[in-house]
Amino acid sequence: MITLDALQVLDAIDRHGSFAAAANALHRVPSALSYTVRQLEDGLGVALFDRSGQRARLTATGRMVLEQGRELLAAADRLSLRARQSASGWEPRVRLVVEAVLPMQPLMPLVQQFATEQPLIELELREEALNGSWEALQEQRADLLIGVGRDAPAGMSVEFAALGDLSFQLVCAAHHPLALHEPGQLTADDLKNHTQVVLRDSARQMQALSVGLFETQRRLQVNHYGAKKMAIMAGVGFGHLAGRDVADAVERGQLVALSHIKPAYKVPMFMAWHKHRAGEGTRWWRKQIKASGCFDVALG
């Protein structure tokens, strides 16, 4: 029978070059190591060492057993560490959901830091939109929501931490027909014959939300905020974009702000987590996001 102890003995013999040196490293006597190896060989029915020379050497089969055995030893070490982490409140995996209107790039330094500090804890990072974020938390597909409002579904035990305010501006491309109007003469009625580009709610079961809608003949729904920005920049239609994406584009003459129809406005953004399910990994992310201020630039 192959045991972890026997694999540790094989590993030590190979690393230190002899039974005597391995015994010294393991604080055991050489005869104990020889007995362990013999038991393993008898149990497998194969010779793991060639003892024909002055120094015993691994056979080809012995080398194979050792190499695959090292994988088992590494897995056992990881399992032991994860068990200790779990006992101390650390989740085996942390799942972050970022609201689609926020960029993920600011999180990357923290992703690297987390991987260094907690190499055995898996990290899942993905994007959701509107009620899709709340649905992920409700269905236990997320541990921490980043960039949501305080509109949690009724009955959910949720806690919040403020991130800041995200500004939005109604815009169209500089070559879009709406941009040809005199600003003071443009009204909401002028939008009716044009396409509004909107971000689709990613919820699968919850009722889909739509925000900032105007009465128009046509709407183009997109699944990603980046696609919404591209469509508006290309002149496909008009829509709301985050302030960080508007200022430079307006200055460069790529976008026109439709402020006379709807002035720029701000939306409070929060982190949210389930009150009774948050572990140490989720707490780590909440603390680091707040301390680093990584979204300060994006939120403006």
Query: How is residue 112 written in tokens?
Result: 């690297």
Strand partners of residue 255: 173
Residue 240: the pLDDT is 93
Residue 279: the pLDDT is 85
Q: Does one domain contain both 236 and 277?
A: no
CATH number of the domain enclosing 201 = 3.40.190.290
Residue 181: the pLDDT is 78
Residue 147 within any structural domain of the chain: yes
- Among residues 169, 220, 176, 216, the alpha carbon closest in space to that of 197 is found at 220
Residue span of the structural domain in which 117 resides: 101-164+269-298
Give the residue ranges of the chain where pLDDT is below 70: 77-78, 80-89, 183, 300
Strand partners of residue 265: 168
Residue 93 within any structural domain of the chain: no
Residue 83: the pLDDT is 65
Q: Does one domain contain both 262 and 170?
A: yes
Q: Does one domain contain both 72 and 115?
A: no
Residue 183: the pLDDT is 67
- SS3 assignment, position 147: strand
Q: Does one domain contain both 150 and 280?
A: yes
